[in-house]
């Protein structure tokens, strides 16, 4: 025992004598500065000021509700490691302290970060040597950090001295064993400055004003009320009445002092009233300063500002909460992530720590918004019905027919709206009358007897398809640009339609307004409406040019009749305009139903339509339209020229031959038929407008002519 004590004394003496001069012990400087400031904020703000506590809770509750994940790989291909030791450590940082699970420790860390500008975790390592992988994480309160040893030569902190609150002993942790979460500071990079300290002057002033109000209400010793007694009352009687009042109201009831005067004929208040004592202007400025320092919308914590009242509608609250997450919670999460990935994650190899993106997304989307987004994406063919159901947490249905994507020309039935978590939405819109079912099923097509011809070599087939595909891609650019322009004009027309109904954003859509909008949308996008007419006029020129290029590419001495080509162009353009209008109308109706179900106003519903129908989905639809129509127009022009030539007797189906080819098209690859006959997939040629849309949308096939 004596030998051990001697070794400790010798080691301490050696350390004191041999401490390099370049080391600076930071005492009573930055540590005390931020500790003192943070402690003032805690006492005057967190523990006494309701606005500071409400702002902190609004941010901290968000941060601690999003779990931390341990992942491997980059963001594009990240693998979540649920059973990783680091993940288990973050979930249970102190195995022997059940009162401090990972979520609560994370919340307290965020609170210290806000109040003090600094937060600390001590890494507990196994064994007396304090080496090896972390066995626990201990939260160190910023007020217990006493000093820091700093190396001027190395320009870094070497260790931290802090007091253990349980025992009161001073402990020293080397920098490798301390995770220091520091906010920004304009003075020193070693320590962060408490962001809420920017409003500490207002907090103190508001606290003093509030304390003064309470003192006056409970009385500071002077009279606040006078009772005028009758003329026959003597001075002794007035004093006796005053003593009885003081005993009953002041000493026992802790009420204000009063004064009795002889000849009482009325009661008069001579102190401040409560409205004067509230200092409303001062308190409003204080609250705004506190909220601006965090930043938090004052209305989200139930107080008014100079620009608005404290009340908020449901839509306004969701928008304010999204801003709170984007402006306050997310930057704080990123700061915590950066510190953890700098200090803790490298001890476990090539992994990193992040807040769960799914957990954060759940805070920014409600069920109705998710349902509306699922409907719009399903309608546009971005998701299958199975994927849309899983998005809104519904059990999948294993019907194979539900896996067919809606595509450019798909339709969303009212029954699908009900399945996609919008109960009651179909009641706002009567479904259209169903088309009568045919008495007899359509006859199945039989494959005509193939014509025997000499087959081309594989190299010749590939060369022919590549030449055709290069020509189609040149026309893709023109048709896609025109489609994007037409979608933009549709978006402007729909925006005008919503503006004509009502410009007020707050009240939700009424049933009459919903019905009015639905009728107007159907009128605009159906039949001879504004949108189909616009698409017919806009698409005639690029599709006409594409089809004529296809006809002229055939090496025949005689060109097809212009009348037949013109009719084919007109039919193709009309069919495209009709289907595009139907799809846009269906998507808009789905968004209207979702907005009405969610209680949205006109402006928010219009924004929803603009983002889903005319946002990214319109760009995807434009690409699909361009590929489908360029291939179809080129093939139809060549087919008409071949028929009118009188010298072509057979055609052969040609695919690209890769894994993206449809099964029904792969079955036709290499098959020869007499020209004009229909292949089993319902097409006379790839892109045949008379065939089912599922056989021609995004098709890349062509024909070989003999």
| Residue 118: predicted pLDDT | 92
| Residue 563: predicted pLDDT | 74
DSSP state of 93: S
Nearest alpha carbon to residue 506 among 317, 299, 325: 317
DSSP state of 403: G
Task: Say if residue 295 is preceded by a cis peptide, omega within 30 of 0.
Answer: yes
H or E element, residue 124: strand 118-124
- Are 457 and 608 a contacting pair, CB within 8 Å? no
Domain spans of the chain, in order of start: 225-270, 458-705
Helix (H, G, I), strand (E, B) or coil at 86: helix
Tell me the C-alpha distance between 638 and 560, whole Å: 9
Tell me the C-alpha distance between 544 and 172, whole Å: 82
Query: Which residues partner with 160 through β-bridges?
Result: 148, 173
For the chain, residues with pLDDT lower than 70 are 1-30, 32, 75-76, 127-130, 209-225, 248-285, 304-316, 364-455, 500-506, 556-562, 616
| Residue 423: predicted pLDDT | 34
Distance of CA 58 to the CA centre of its chain: 18
DSSP state of 249: I
| Residue 506: predicted pLDDT | 52
H or E element, residue 43: none
Per 3-state DSSP, the chain is made up of helix, strand and coil in percentages (nearest 5) of: 55, 10, 35
| Residue 373: predicted pLDDT | 58
Tell me the C-alpha distance between 632 and 687, whole Å: 4
| Residue 179: predicted pLDDT | 93
Distance of CA 549 to the CA centre of its chain: 46
Helix (H, G, I), strand (E, B) or coil at 189: coil
């Amino acid at each position: 025992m004596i030998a051990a004590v001697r070794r400790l004394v010798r080691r301490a003496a050696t350390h004191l004598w041999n401490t390099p001069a370049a080391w600076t012990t930071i005492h009573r400087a930055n540590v005390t500065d931020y500790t003192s400031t943070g402690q003032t904020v805690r006492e005057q703000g967190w523990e006494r000021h309701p606005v500071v506590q409400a702002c902190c809770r609004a941010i901290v509750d968000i941060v601690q509700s999003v779990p931390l994940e341990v992942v491997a790989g980059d963001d594009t291909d990240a693998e979540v490691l649920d059973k990783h030791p680091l993940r288990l450590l973050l979930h249970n940082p102190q195995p022997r302290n059940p009162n401090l699970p990972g979520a609560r420790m994370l919340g307290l860390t965020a609170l210290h970060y806000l109040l003090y500008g600094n937060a600390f975790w001590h890494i507990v390592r196994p064994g007396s040597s304090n080496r090896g992988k972390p066995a626990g994480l201990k939260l160190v309160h910023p007020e217990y950090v006493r000093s820091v040893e700093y190396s001027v030569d190395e320009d870094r902190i070497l260790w931290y001295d802090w007091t253990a609150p349980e025992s009161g002993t001073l402990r020293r942790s080397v920098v490798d064993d301390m995770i220091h979460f520091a906010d920004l500071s304009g003075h020193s990079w070693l320590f962060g400055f408490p962001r809420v300290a920017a409003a500490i002057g207002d907090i103190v002033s508001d606290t003093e004003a509030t304390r003064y109000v309470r003192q006056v209400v409970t009385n500071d010793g002077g009279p606040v009320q006078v009772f005028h007694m009758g003329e026959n009352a003597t001075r002794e009687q007035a004093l006796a009445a005053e003593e009885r009042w003081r005993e009953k109201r002041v000493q026992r009831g802790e009420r204000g002092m009063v004064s009795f005067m002889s000849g009482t004929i009325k009661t008069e208040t001579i102190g401040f009233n409560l409205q004067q004592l509230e200092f409303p202007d001062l308190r409003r400025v204080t609250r705004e300063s506190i909220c601006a320092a965090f930043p938090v919308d004052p209305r989200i914590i139930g107080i008014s500002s100079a620009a608005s009242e404290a009340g908020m509608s449901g839509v306004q609250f969701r928008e304010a909460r999204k801003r709170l997450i984007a402006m306050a919670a997310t930057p704080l999460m990123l700061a915590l992530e950066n510190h953890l990935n700098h200090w803790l994650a490298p001890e476990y190899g090539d992994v990193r720590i992040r807040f769960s993106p799914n957990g954060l997304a759940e805070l920014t989307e409600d069920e109705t918004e998710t349902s509306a987004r699922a409907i719009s994406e399903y309608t546009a063919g971005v998701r299958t019905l199975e994927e849309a159901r899983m998005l809104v947490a519904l059990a999948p249905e294993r019907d194979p027919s539900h896996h067919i994507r809606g595509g450019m020309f798909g339709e969303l039935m009212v029954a699908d709206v009900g399945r996609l978590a919008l109960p009651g939405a179909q009641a706002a819109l009567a479904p259209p009358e169903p088309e009568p079912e045919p008495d007899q099923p359509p006859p199945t097509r039989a494959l005509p007897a193939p014509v025997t011809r000499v087959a081309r070599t594989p190299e010749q087939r590939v060369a022919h398809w590549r030449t055709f595909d290069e020509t189609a891609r040149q026309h893709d650019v023109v048709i896609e640009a025109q489609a994007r322009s037409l979608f933009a004009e549709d978006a402007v027309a729909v925006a005008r339609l919503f503006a004509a109904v009502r410009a007020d954003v707050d009240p939700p859509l009424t049933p009459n307004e919903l019905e009015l909008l639905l009728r107007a949308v159907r009128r605009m996008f159906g039949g001879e409406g504004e949108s189909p007419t616009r698409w017919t006029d806009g698409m005639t020129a690029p599709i006409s040019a594409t089809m004529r290029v296809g006809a002229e590419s055939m090496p025949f001495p005689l060109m097809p009749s212009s009348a037949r080509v013109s009719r084919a162009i007109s039919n193709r353009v009309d069919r495209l305009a009709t289907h595009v209008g139907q799809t846009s109308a269906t998507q808009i109706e789905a968004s209207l139903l979702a907005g009405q179900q969610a209680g949205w106003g006109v402006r928010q519903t219009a924004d929803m339509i603009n983002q889903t129908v005319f946002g990214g989905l319109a760009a995807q639809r434009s690409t699909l339209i361009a590929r489908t129509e360029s291939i179809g127009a080129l093939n139809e022009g060549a087919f008409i020229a071949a028929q009118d030539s009188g010298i072509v007797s057979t055609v052969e189906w040609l695919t690209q031959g890769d894994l993206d080819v449809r099964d029904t098209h792969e079955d036709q690859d290499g098959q020869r038929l007499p020209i004009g006959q229909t292949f089993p997939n319902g097409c006379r040629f790839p892109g045949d407008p008379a065939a089912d849309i599922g056989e021609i949308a995004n098709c890349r096939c062509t024909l070989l002519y003999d």
